[in-house]
């Protein structure tokens, strides 16, 4: 305000009265904006509280599975790590409820979740760069899990879990009877949780603190899956799940040998980058043209 007064005093090219009128208009405009902003801020806080109450409801449900050593979701064992409602609803709850992974049952499950938690799982029809706006977890919003029809983990499978985070998908695979899971998660903050997870699941889950990419670069902690499989002496790869923030295409290029030789089932997230599904499909079929492809919103399945 003081700076404006100085300018007004020094100005000689415009009448003082007009300048004061302009200043008065400006002050009224600021008042109006402040009022609008305050109302919008209050509205945003109310919206947040409504959503947060639903998170609290789900957290209470999660805690019914809590034990002294961790969580046990009817056989799916997880440590006392940061377990969000999103992970619970997306990956764990369907199995706790013994949900068959058919298209119809998946659709009904998400329909029921939206009725129970309308704020948390809301997904609008407005698209920005090909990706829907949403509140809550993206998997709920997009309406998919990592299993679908023929693309499921079976007993004895060897699984590569890319973007393991707290390891809930690897834990689910252990519950389904997979013989070995390689949980790729380079984030240091997840280290202790994943180590505890591996211990709880009898060492079936091996933690790999690397990124999967087109080619191996030791300095950047990047490894191609083809090089990784060779170094591990793998004689089979049964399932690859990837949710790695838009680097899925590069990872698949570095796994061309695995796709050709072992033809693992694939659940590859595509919601990070526009037009990613077409690119990913082309890479898979280029490596092995015998794959059958399912493309759903946000994820591509192949078997």
Render pLDDT for 73-118 as a digit per residue (tens, 0 to 9). 989 999 987 777 777 877 788 888 887 777 677 667 777 877 787 7
Cα(44)–Cα(10) distance, integer angstroms: 43
Cα(12)–Cα(222) distance, integer angstroms: 66
Mean per-residue pLDDT, 3-27: 62
Residue 103 CB neighbours (<10 A): 11
Cα(120)–Cα(67) distance, integer angstroms: 26
Residue 54 CB neighbours (<10 A): 18
DSSP letters for 188-228 = GGGHHHHHHHHHHTTT-EEEE-SEE-SS-BGGGTEE-HHHH
Give the SS3 label for residue 293: strand
- Predicted confidence at residue 136, as pLDDT, reads 35
Cα(85)–Cα(92) distance, integer angstroms: 10
74: which DSSP letter? T
Cα(69)–Cα(199) distance, integer angstroms: 11
17 has pLDDT over 70:
no
Q: How much is the pTM?
A: 0.76
- Predicted confidence at residue 140, as pLDDT, reads 45
- Length of the chain in terms of residues written: 303
Cα(219)–Cα(230) distance, integer angstroms: 19
223 has pLDDT over 80:
yes
Residue 196: partners with Cβ closer than 8 Å, 6 or more residues away: 70, 79, 81
Helices (H) and strands (E) in the chain, counts: 12, 13
- Predicted confidence at residue 205, as pLDDT, reads 96
- Predicted confidence at residue 12, as pLDDT, reads 56
Confidence of residue 8 (pLDDT cuts 50, 70, 90): low
Closest CA to 164 of 177, 152, 181: 181
Sole residue written with tokens 């008065």: 24
244 has pLDDT over 60:
yes
């Amino acid at each position: 305000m003081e700076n404006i007064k100085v300018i007004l005093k020094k100005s000689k090219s415009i009448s003082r009265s007009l300048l004061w009128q302009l200043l008065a208009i400006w002050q009224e405009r600021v008042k109006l904006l402040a009022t609008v902003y305050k109302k919008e801020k209050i509205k945003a806080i109310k919206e947040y509280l409504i959503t947060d109450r639903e998170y609290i409801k789900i957290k209470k449900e999660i805690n019914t599975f809590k034990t002294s050593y961790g969580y046990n979701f009817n056989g799916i064992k997880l440590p006392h790590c940061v377990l969000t409602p999103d992970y619970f609803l997306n990956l764990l709850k369907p199995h706790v409820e013994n949900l068959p992974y058919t298209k119809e049952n998946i659709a009904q499950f998400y329909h029921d979740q939206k009725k129970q938690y309308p704020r948390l799982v809301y997904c609008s029809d407005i698209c920005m760069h090909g990706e829907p706006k949403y509140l809550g977890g993206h998997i709920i919003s997009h309406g998919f899990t990592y299993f679908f029809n023929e693309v499921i983990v079976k007993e004895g499978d060897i699984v590569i879990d890319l973007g393991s985070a707290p390891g809930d998908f690897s834990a689910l695979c252990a519950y389904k009877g997979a013989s070995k899971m390689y949980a790729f998660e380079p984030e240091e903050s997840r280290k202790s949780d994943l180590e505890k997870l591996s211990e709880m699941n009898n060492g079936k889950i091996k933690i790999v603190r690397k990124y999967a990419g087109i080619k191996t670069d030791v300095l950047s902690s990047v490894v191609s899956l083809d090089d990784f499989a060779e170094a591990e002496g793998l004689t089979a790869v049964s399932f690859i799940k990837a949710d790695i923030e838009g680097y899925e295409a590069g990872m698949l290029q570095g796994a061309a040998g695995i796709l050709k030789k072992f033809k693992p089932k694939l659940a590859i997230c595509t919601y990070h980058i526009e037009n990613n599904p077409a690119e990913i499909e082309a890479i898979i079929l280029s490596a092995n043209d015998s794959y059958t492809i399912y493309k759903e919103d946000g994820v591509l399945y192949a078997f």
